[in-house]
Amino acid sequence: MKKVIISVLMIISAGLSAQSQGNQLRYVLFLGNSYTAANNLPQMLSDIALSTGNTVVFNSNTPGGYTLQAHSTNQETLSLIESGGWDLVVLQEQSQLPALPIEQVEHMVFPFARKLDSLINISDPCVETLFYMTWGRKNGDSENCPQWPPVCTYEGMDSLLALRYKMMADSNMAILAPVGRVWHYLRTFYPGIELYASDGSHPSLAGTYAAALSFYTAIFRQDPILVTYNASLDPETAGYIRNAVRLVVYDSLASWNIGLYDPAAGFNAEVNGFEVSFANSSLFADQYEWDFGDGSASALPNPVHIYNASGDYEVRLVAGHCNMSDIETQVIHVLPTGIEMVSSSLTRIFPNPGKGIITVSGRNGFLKGYSSELMAIDGRMIIIRETGTMTDSMTMDITGVQPGIYLLKVKDLADNTVLIQKVIISAP
């Protein structure tokens, strides 16, 4: 079965940002079988999204009883994947196969999940694969029970489905809509809600509503409690289901890999005088925009930048992939060549901030004297002083020096150790 439905954006939630609620558009392709087709899950997802001011444009191919293996050679499925333009492609396996013995799953399921995921990424590397974790049958799998006892009960079958779908998602770096886990929560805490159709396998209207809310939360990363569409369910039942999805999915997005593969910006900087080498440590990114804080920029992954003057520079890296990005900002301290800041435990300046006279005490005093320089942050010398006599500390008259941030360089003449500290000169 195939349908194309476009939901027109009608409502924009007041008082909420677009990122947290409303005004988002997603193109979603569903590839599955009658579990997806029942009660028109894609349309219900669209209606749910519309109630929060979001839009879902979807297409689907869901022949009854279809497996991922069958989809991997189905011409309609392949054409839909190749047509492109999707944000997400949903993959749903036949309801029993993932719960079979692992040897069978490794032969009948995993290879075709990988094949479809590869075809999706070849068609468009920006598309995200979303696995539809289904549920155990109401009273277990009676068909496979004689030769595989773990599926004789709902609990046994359901736990195996959850495990195998998580394995598929992890191995393909994909995300999950954990519908089966939501059903498990509802069966445990709200046993009066009938999730199954009369066959004890397919979803009832309430079961599809739980699935659609799970997809909504996984796709938009928004709180399902704010959904106002009830899908003809009584408000109390719909509210219980929304709360279950909030607890299982929204409160644990990372557990279902949601956001795990988003770009994460990061970098380290090695300062050598005015030259700074940047080592990019970003994850899941292939596009980079550097702002070095001095009006210069770069799109290289690991740039080297030369500053024209000493100072503190705020460096910003935007790391992106497709239409997603992340930002890392660091302050880089650029000092004249050969000068490094040292721990304040090695020397003490007081008062700091100060005005008039400041005092500097060395680590063990200055046995053979010292030389000192007060420098502007750009390296200009403001005050130079030297003495060849032993002293426990030194003083410097900063009267008349303009308020601001300076560098005080003190050289211990006993061992030529150079101490560098920031000095803040306050207004008189």
Residues 6 or more apart whose CB falls under 8 angstroms from that of 4 comprise: 58, 59
Tell me the C-alpha distance between 301 and 288, whole Å. Answer: 6
d(CA 236, CA 239): 5
For residue 338, CA distances in Å to 60, 106, 237, 334, 409 come to 64, 60, 70, 11, 12
Residue 77: name the closest of 23, 123, 31 by CA.
31
Is CATH 3.40.50.1110 the right assignment for the domain spanning 4-256? Answer: yes
115-169 pLDDT, tens digit each: 999 999 999 999 999 999 999 999 999 999 999 999 999 999 999 999 999 999 9
Q: What's the CA gap between 92 and 53, in Å, rounded?
A: 27
Handedness of CA 104, 105, 110, 116 (dihedral sign): positive
Residue 372 has pLDDT above 90, yes or no: no
What is the CB neighbour count within 10 angstroms for residue 400? 10
What is the C-alpha end-to-end distance of the chain, expressed in Å?
Answer: 81
DSSP letter string, 264-333: B--EEEEEETTEEEEEE--BS--EEEEE-SSS-EE--SS-EEE-SS-EEEEEEEEEEETTEEEEEEEEEE
Contact between 35 and 134 (Cβ < 8 Å): yes
Strand-pair category, 348-350 with 357-366: antiparallel
Which of the pair, 386 or 309, is modelled with greater confidence?
309
User: Which CATH number is 348-425 given?
Assistant: 2.60.40.1220
Domain ranges of the chain: 4-256, 267-334, 348-425
pLDDT in tens, 387-402: 666 566 778 888 888 8
Q: What is the mean pLDDT of residues 177-187?
A: 99
pLDDT digit string, tens, across residues 3-17: 333 333 232 233 333
Residue 253: CB partners within 8 Å, gap ≥ 6?
217, 218, 221, 259
Would you say the pTM of this structure is higher than 0.85? Answer: no
Contact 158, 140 (CB under 8 A): no
Q: How far apart are CA 177 and CA 362, in angstroms?
A: 63
Quickly list H helices, 190-234: 205-220
CATH superfamily for 267-334 is Immunoglobulins (2.60.40.10)
Output the pLDDT for position 350. Answer: 83
